[in-house]
């Protein structure tokens, strides 16, 4: 994506960004952290218990042994209960924090500029929203719990150990940082590798998504083998990365374990020597060895899990590069400033004034698609937009909806420009695309977009005006019929009429319409056309015209060519001027029966 490069945020920054998500759950977090004390009692207590057991066995005192057994068994029950509670709170807090982060990402996705969404693969965005967000939160959780627990364990074990032998305790403690810092050699490599693994996983997800979304084309063109090969190649790349990651992790783990064991052997040698000399009991030797492990363990554990933290940091980078991307409302308006910003004309339904637009990311593209484009549509006009393929019709429509912002100049709808707030601008527009998108859910929800404010009567009226009521009534559950993803279960014409019913209900004054053509058969086309005619009544309409009837009935036809308005006028006047429109008419609109009419 066009935002910050992944793999760059330091741990401190990532934690600073993620910790506020813990704030609403601080009580649960505190409880889960306090309950870690049970684990501490178990870990430290084990050394003391073993020491007591061995020394009691050596003294052959049966009463003491019985008492000790009962105390230890009761303590075990309490500790296990505390640990279960700790796991529960840890899980609840972490999953809620993850959900909040995912919700923030989901909400941000709605505010990302349209161009940015177009430039990203949906599989990549899905990965960031799911796996990456979970992994990022895993970092916070493991750092909070593991770090606090390990520090505490190290401190208490050291004190216990020091009460037996200060010098050996200091040696065990001193070896810890050596273990930890020697493993940091692998950090950068691991983090880079992790970022690449996340990206490769997102690629794989993308291929799977495309396979499912394009299933008709895949089957019709027998693309299965091609896609399988593509998937296998990506999988092989991911496997290679995973293998390198596993090798690095093994190196990291074993180097930490090696240094740790070396110190253990030296210390064990000293304490065994002291026992032979008679200064230390067998129970104390055992307790000493266990406690020495406890002092060193936090460092070994941290150096081993640090790899996982690096991995999560890679995921956090990918999450924050979405969260930190500018929202569509934040994009500066008209950065070229070739024209002075004039106040929007409130008497006009749609005004495009001095608009420049370029798809190129280069700030001073010399060949923009639109160069000083001007358009003025009055209230109640029906304007047909025509032009050769690639002339900029779709781009112009997207600019009207505020999906694309002009690099210079402005667009205003009934006096509201994008700079005054996109929501305001869009509330005055109804957009009916060529192939409408239906969400999975009931037909009712698809017409009303789940709005509870709209009554069933209003929904029915909108469907009736759109010519959809009849077929909806015949469906098994009428308006409550569930439709699948993308509107599966409905014909193309039925989907279009549901989209038109939506437009009736929205009742915005400006209608932007991209007419459907070949996707519909004659009967469906007629039904859809009748619905559209009703929708266009008493509304200002800008329509990308694909039908002859539309251009003939339009108040005005605007002909776009190479990103500029080439001609403007009525059907007859444009035909007689014999320019771009006349040529287009011959190629695109001319129908055998139209000859007779003209
Ligand atoms: N996302 C994009 N990135 C870069 N260039 C683009 C993008 N979308 C469109 N274009 C280019 O902008 C120009 C205008 O495209 P647009 O889709 O607006 O034309 P159109 O008139 O609607 O074409 P058609 O009638 O074929 O749908 C084309 O040259 C196209 O290649």
| 59 or 246, greater pLDDT | 246
Cβ neighbors of 524 (< 8 A, separation 6 or more) are 491, 492, 493, 496
In this structure, are strands 556-561 and 408-413 parallel, antiparallel, or unpaired?
unpaired
pLDDT over threshold 50, residue 148:
yes
At residue 239, the pLDDT reads 94
- Residue 359 C-alpha to ligand 1 middle, in angstroms? 9
pLDDT over threshold 90, residue 100:
yes
Residue nearest to atom 4 of ligand 1 (CA): 359
Mean pLDDT across the stretch 20-32?
90
Q: 333 pLDDT band (50/70/90 cuts)? A: low
Angle, to 10 degrees, between the axis of helix 26-34 and the axis of helix 62-111? 150
Mean pLDDT across the stretch 443-456?
81
390 lines ligand 1 (CB under 6 A): yes
pLDDT over threshold 80, residue 238:
yes
434 lines ligand 1 (CB under 6 A): no
Q: Which CATH architecture has domain 11-201+244-328?
A: Up-down Bundle (1.20)
Closest atom of ligand 1 to 118 CA is 1
User: Are 551 and 545 contacting, i.e. CB atoms less than 8 angstroms apart?
Assistant: yes
369 lines ligand 1 (CB under 6 A): yes
Q: Domain 332-428+511-520+542-598 falls in which CATH fold?
A: Rossmann fold (3.40.50)
143 lines ligand 1 (CB under 6 A): no
Closest atom of ligand 1 to 398 CA is 18
| 57 or 383, greater pLDDT | 383
Whole-complex ipTM:
0.97
pLDDT, tens only, 55-91: 787 777 788 888 888 888 888 888 889 889 999 998 9
Average pLDDT, the chain: 83
Instruction: Enumerate the domain spans of the chain.
Output: 11-201+244-328, 332-428+511-520+542-598
pTM value surpassing 0.80? no
Residue nearest to atom 2 of ligand 1 (CA): 359
pLDDT, tens only, 406-424: 888 889 999 888 777 888 8
Same fold? 11-201+244-328, 332-428+511-520+542-598: no
- Residue 369 C-alpha to ligand 1 middle, in angstroms? 9
Q: 203 pLDDT band (50/70/90 cuts)? A: confident
Residue nearest to atom 17 of ligand 1 (CA): 394
Residue nearest to atom 25 of ligand 1 (CA): 389
- The DSSP code sequence of 527-550 is HHHHHHHHHHTTSEEEEE--SHHH
| 361 or 412, greater pLDDT | 412
What share of the chain has pLDDT > 90, as a percent? 20
pLDDT over threshold 70, residue 135:
yes
Residue nearest to atom 27 of ligand 1 (CA): 389
Instruction: Give burial (CB, 10 Å; 0-12/13-18/19+) of 187.
Output: middle
- Residue 404 C-alpha to ligand 1 middle, in angstroms? 12
Mean pLDDT across the stretch 277-285?
76
- Residue 573 C-alpha to ligand 1 middle, in angstroms? 28
- Residue 394 C-alpha to ligand 1 middle, in angstroms? 7
Q: 366 pLDDT band (50/70/90 cuts)? A: low
pLDDT over threshold 80, residue 8:
no
| 274 or 5, greater pLDDT | 274
């Amino acid at each position: 994506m066009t935002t910050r490069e992944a793999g760059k945020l330091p741990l401190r920054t990532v934690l600073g960004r993620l910790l506020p998500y813990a704030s609403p759950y601080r009580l649960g977090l505190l409880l889960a952290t306090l309950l870690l004390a049970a684990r501490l009692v178990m870990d430290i207590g084990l050394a003391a218990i073993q020491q007591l057991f061995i020394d009691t066995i050596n003294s052959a005192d049966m009463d003491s042994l019985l008492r000790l057994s009962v105390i230890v068994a009761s303590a075990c029950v309490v500790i296990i209960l505390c640990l279960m509670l700790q796991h529960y709170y840890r899980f609840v807090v972490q999953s809620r924090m993850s959900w909040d982060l995912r919700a923030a990402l989901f909400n941000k996705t709605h505010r990302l500029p349209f161009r940015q969404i177009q430039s990203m693969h949906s599989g990549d965005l899905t990965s960031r929203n799911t796996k990456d967000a979970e992994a990022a939160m895993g970092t916070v959780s493991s750092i909070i719990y593991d770090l606090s627990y390990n520090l505490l364990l190290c401190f208490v074990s050291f004190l216990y150990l020091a009460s037996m032998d200060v010098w050996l305790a200091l040696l065990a403690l001193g070896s810890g940082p050596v273990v930890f810092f020697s493993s940091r050699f692998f950090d950068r490599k691991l983090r880079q590798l992790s970022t690449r693994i996340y990206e490769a996983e997102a690629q794989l997800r993308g291929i799977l998504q495309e396979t499912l979304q394009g299933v008709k084309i895949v089957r019709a063109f027998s693309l299965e083998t091609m896609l399988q090969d593509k998937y296998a190649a990506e999988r092989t790349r991911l496997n290679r990365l995973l293998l390198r990651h596993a090798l690095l992790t093994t190196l990291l783990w074993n180097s930490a374990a090696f240094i740790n064991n070396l110190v253990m052997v030296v210390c064990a040698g000293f304490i065994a020597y002291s026992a032979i000399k008679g200064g230390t009991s067998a129970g104390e030797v055992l307790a000493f060895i266990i406690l020495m492990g406890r002092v060193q363990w936090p460092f070994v554990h941290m150096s081993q899990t640090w790899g996982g933290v690096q991995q999560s940091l890679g995921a956090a980078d990918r999450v924050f590069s979405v969260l930190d991307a500018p929202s569509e409302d934040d994009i500066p308006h008209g950065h070229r400033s070739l024209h002075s910003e004039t106040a929007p004309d409130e008497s006009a339904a749609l005004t495009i004034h001095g608009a420049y637009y370029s798809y190129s990311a280069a700030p001073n593209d010399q060949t923009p698609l639109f160069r000083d484009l001007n358009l003025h549509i009055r209230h109640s006009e029906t304007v047909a937009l025509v032009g050769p393929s690639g002339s900029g019709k779709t781009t112009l429509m997207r600019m009207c909806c505020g999906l694309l912002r002009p690099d210079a100049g402005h667009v205003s709808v009934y006096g509201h420009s994008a700079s005054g707030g996109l929501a305001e601008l869009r509330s005055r527009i109804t957009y009916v695309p060529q192939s409408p998108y239906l969400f999975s859910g009931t037909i009712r929800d698809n017409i009303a977009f789940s709005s509870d404010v709209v009554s069933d009567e209003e929904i029915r009226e909108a469907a009736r005006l759109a010519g959809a009521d009849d077929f909806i009534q015949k469906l098994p559950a009428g308006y409550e019929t569930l439709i699948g993803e993308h509107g599966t279960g409905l014909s193309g014409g039925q989907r279009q009429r549901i989209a038109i019913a939506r437009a009736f209900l929205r009742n915005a004054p400006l209608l932007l319409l991209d007419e459907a053509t070949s996707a519909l058969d004659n009967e469906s086309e007629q039904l859809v056309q009748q619905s559209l005619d009703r929708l266009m009544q008493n509304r200002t309409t800008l329509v990308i015209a694909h039908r002859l009837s539309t251009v003939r009935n339009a108040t005005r036809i605007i002909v776009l060519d190479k990103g500029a308005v080439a001609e403007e006028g009525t059907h007859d006047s444009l035909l007689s001027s014999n320019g771009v429109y006349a040529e287009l008419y011959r190629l695109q609109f001319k129908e055998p029966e139209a000859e007779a009419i003209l």
